């Protein structure tokens, strides 16, 4: 029931507070803390994400202007000073918010588990990739440079039913992407869509032995022997569907089982793609359609960089940067949870735009989001990235 609560407070009601407090206790987040709790810190950073604040000074000015309503936002403090927030971001363990974001991800994946997918499959389909977040080397001195540039890399395993990130890992920019395969626990029966940068037969064989399936682009120097070919309909863009065995000794030792090689021609670019998979039952056209769905993770990266504050940071320490990234992820997943729980038809972009202007209103959340979207013009820019349509 709304009971006249502010929109921001209504939104925070969807957080699993018990799980949050467990994360705080696990990492002693409130050791010797008197007034500004970890939840106050989370709310401030979430407020900054939802209202598109640009700096700590911006957050402080906005909070000061609404100081009489801070209690109704759920904060125990009467004033939020930028020095207090900066100190909290720099000193409180970022793993508190990383684990809490993972807990929200578990909740969201359950809510979206029955959603339709572009390919008719009962199995879970994941897309794995990473994106680079550039940093200024002069300010972020803790991050190792690569070719004179500094940055961090966000590795994401995206569940394409949603899409919801099921696994995230933040590393330095020069950390080899392929090592992320060692961090994953293969899920039996699931499909993993990978770019050719992840082609390592020893690591892929670990997925094969676990009962997982992968679809990955082959490199141009792949050495293999063809055992036999399946007939294909070339009018669909398929060129060949073959069973192969690796011929290079080291590759054959790493992956001794046969693989399936599918060559197709992209109808849009005219470029030929060679796919490798350890799944032999699905039609070749379905495997190709699966791989096309991998581009959803590229849209995901573009979307979060466009709408979340993970390119301009409020602090320069490693802890502050990782704290902001994980709270941004938590906010993204929280909005996805609210969308599903309230059965909203609006896109995630539309919800964020509405919430950014209504944080201090007292309208019931479901009524606000439903009516605002219904009154909007149906026209939308073709250049705007939209998720959760």
Omega of the bond leading into 362 within 30 degrees of 0 (cis)? no
**Which domain does 15 fall in, by range?**
7-97+313-375
- Does residue 86 lie in a domain region? yes
pTM of the full predicted structure? 0.86
pLDDT tens digits for 257-312?
999 999 998 777 778 899 999 999 999 999 999 999 998 999 899 888 888 888 88
What is the residue whose two structure tokens read 């799944």?
279
pLDDT of 212 reads 96
Strands annotated E in 249-308: 259-265, 272-277
- Does residue 265 lie in a domain region? no
Q: Please, are residues 165 and 159 in contact by the beta-carbon 8 Å criterion? A: yes
Count of C-beta atoms within a 10 Å radius of residue 65: 10
- Does residue 334 lie in a domain region? yes
- Does residue 164 lie in a domain region? no
Which of 24-38, 168-182, 224-238, 375-389 has the least mean pLDDT? 375-389
Which of 23-27, 199-203, 278-282, 373-377 has the least mean pLDDT? 373-377
- Does residue 239 lie in a domain region? no
- Does residue 218 lie in a domain region? no
- Does residue 22 lie in a domain region? yes
Give me the number of domains the chain comprises: 1
pLDDT of 65 reads 87
- Does residue 52 lie in a domain region? yes
pLDDT of 377 reads 47
């Amino acid at each position: 029931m709304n009971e006249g609560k502010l929109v921001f407070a209504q939104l925070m009601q969807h957080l699993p507070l018990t799980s949050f407090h467990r994360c705080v206790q696990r990492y002693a987040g409130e050791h010797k803390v008197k007034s500004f709790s970890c939840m106050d810190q989370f709310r401030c950073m979430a407020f900054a994400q939802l209202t598109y604040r640009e700096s700590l000074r911006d957050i402080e000015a906005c909070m000061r202007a609404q100081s009489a309503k801070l209690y109704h936002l759920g904060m125990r403090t009467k004033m939020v000073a930028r020095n207090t927030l900066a100190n909290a971001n720099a000193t409180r363990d970022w793993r508190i918010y990383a684990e809490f974001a993972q807990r929200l991800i578990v909740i969201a994946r359950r809510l979206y588990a029955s959603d339709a997918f572009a390919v008719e499959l009962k199995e879970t389909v994941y897309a794995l990739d990473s994106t680079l977040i550039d940093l200024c080397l002069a300010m972020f001195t803790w991050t190792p440079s690569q070719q004179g540039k500094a940055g961090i890399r966000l590795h994401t395993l995206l569940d394409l039913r949603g899409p919801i990130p099921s696994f995230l890992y933040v590393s330095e920019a020069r950390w080899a992407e392929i090592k992320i395969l060692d961090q994953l626990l293969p899920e039996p029966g699931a499909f993993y869509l990978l770019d050719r940068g992840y082609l390592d037969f020893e690591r892929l064989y670990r997925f094969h032995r676990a009962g997982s399936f992968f679809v990955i682009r082959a490199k141009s120097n792949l050495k293999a022997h063809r055992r036999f070919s399946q007939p294909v309909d070339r009018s669909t863009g398929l060129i060949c569907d073959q069973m192969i065995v690796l011929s290079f000794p080291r590759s054959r030792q790493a992956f001794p089982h046969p693989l399936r090689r599918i060559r197709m021609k992209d109808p849009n670019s005219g470029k030929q793609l060679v796919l490798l998979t350890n799944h032999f039952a699905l039609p070749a056209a379905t495997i190709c359609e699966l791989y096309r769905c991998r581009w959803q993770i590229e849209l995901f990266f573009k979307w979060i960089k466009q709408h979340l504050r993970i390119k301009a940071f409020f602090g320069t320490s490693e802890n502050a940067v990782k704290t902001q990234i994980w709270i941004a992820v938590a906010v993204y997943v929280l909005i996805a949870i609210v969308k599903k729980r309230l059965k909203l038809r609006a896109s995630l972009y539309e919800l964020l735009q509405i919430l950014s202007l209504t944080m201090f209103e007292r309208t019931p959340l479901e009524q606000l989001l439903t009516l605002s979207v219904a009154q909007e013009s149906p026209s939308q820019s073709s250049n705007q990235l939209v998720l959760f349509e």
